Amino acid sequence: MTVASPPREREARARRLTLPFASEYPFEPHFHDVDGGALHYVDEGPRDGEVVLCVHGNPTWSFYYRHLIRALSPERRVFAPDHIGCGLSDKPQDWSYRLADHIANLERLVLDLDLSRIHLVVHDWGGAIGTGVAVRHPERFLSISASNTAAFPSTRIPTRIDVCRLPVFGPLAIRGLNAFARAATVMAVEKRERMTPAVRAGYLAPYGNWQDRIATLRFVQDIPLSPKHPSFDALAAIDAGLPRLAQLPVNLFWGERDWCFTPEFRREWQARFPAAEVLAIEDAGHYVLEDAHEQVIPWLTKQLQRTTRA
């Protein structure tokens, strides 16, 4: 097991790293020891409130949820963890970075902190990781809100991502040039003017060198497109467990111009949860909370309030 970084060192590093974009991300750092090291998370809002657990994907981190954190934390306790290797969490070079281990880390955070009455919000890889925990502990969850993500096997992969899985090109492009995270600041948004220098700095800050970009590469390599892949069984087990969440309200807010998690993925969610509430945003891309947070936040707030009343 990788040893976590010392508490004072990691907190000082977190504050130093986020200083250039502190107005965008003004949250106090928190850390919890998991397999792989110290996992960073945001914890904002009343301690006794319902929990909103926001689970990010690749190549983002909790920074992606900053608008949602600010909007929901006055009434709810909002958690937004950074997966090991991402954001302000430790970035071990010898860890597995497999789907099952990311799920185990999030599960440990939920159980160790005894989080319950959880509204789960997931994006990108967060769909598989977050629902991977929910299907194991459905009694702890109140609702599921999914955005441009999947929690089931698929053979679809865009060429521009598939080439990043090539043995030599992938590490050079992703770890050497930070091409994946840099490209996402352009390709994942439709409203380019929203990617201001401060916002772009926020997305890229945790991935400043070869070592810090290890998870960005490993997530791409861990996409299970066939049963031969080491993470395929874990993803298939999540899909098989989704019926355990059938009693929960499911909300889908989708950037319809996403070239990665296209509307076809949204329809896959709807096939599994026919009663899901849907907000399809025609002019938003993969980073839907950048393109359309003004639309998403009031809609999602209404859905959560409805669940609370029920």
pLDDT above 60 (res 127):
yes
If you average pLDDT over residues 34-49, what whole number do you get? 96
Q: Quick check: 210 pLDDT over 60?
A: yes
Question: Is the confidence at residue 254, as pLDDT, over 60?
Answer: yes
Euclidean distance between the first and the last CA atom of the chain, given in angstroms as a whole number: 43
Say what the pLDDT of residue 1 is. Answer: 46
Question: Strands, DSSP E only, in 30-131?
Answer: 30-34, 37-44, 51-55, 77-81, 118-124
pLDDT of residue 75: 95
The DSSP secondary-structure symbol of 27 reads P
Q: Which residue shows structure tokens 């490209």?
A: 183
Per-residue pLDDT at 3 exceeds 60: no
As a whole number, mean pLDDT of residues 210-235 equals 98
d(CA 182, CA 301): 31
Mean pLDDT, rounded, of the chain: 96
Percent with pLDDT over 70 in the chain: 98
In whole angstroms, give the CA distance from residue 79 to residue 54: 6
Q: Which residues contact 300 (CB under 8 A, 6 or more apart)?
A: 68, 121, 145, 251, 253
Q: What is the pTM of this model?
A: 0.96
CA–CA separation, 27 and 17 (whole Å):
12
Rounded CA gap, 77 and 286, in Å? 26
Query: How far, in Å, are 84, 274, 284 from residue 205 at the CA level?
Result: 15, 39, 24
Q: Would you say residue 238 has pLDDT above 80?
A: yes
pLDDT at 212: 98
**Fold topology of 7-309:** Rossmann fold (3.40.50)
The rounded distance, in Å, linking the Cα atoms of 158 and 9 is 39
Q: How far is CA 9 from the centre of its chain?
A: 25
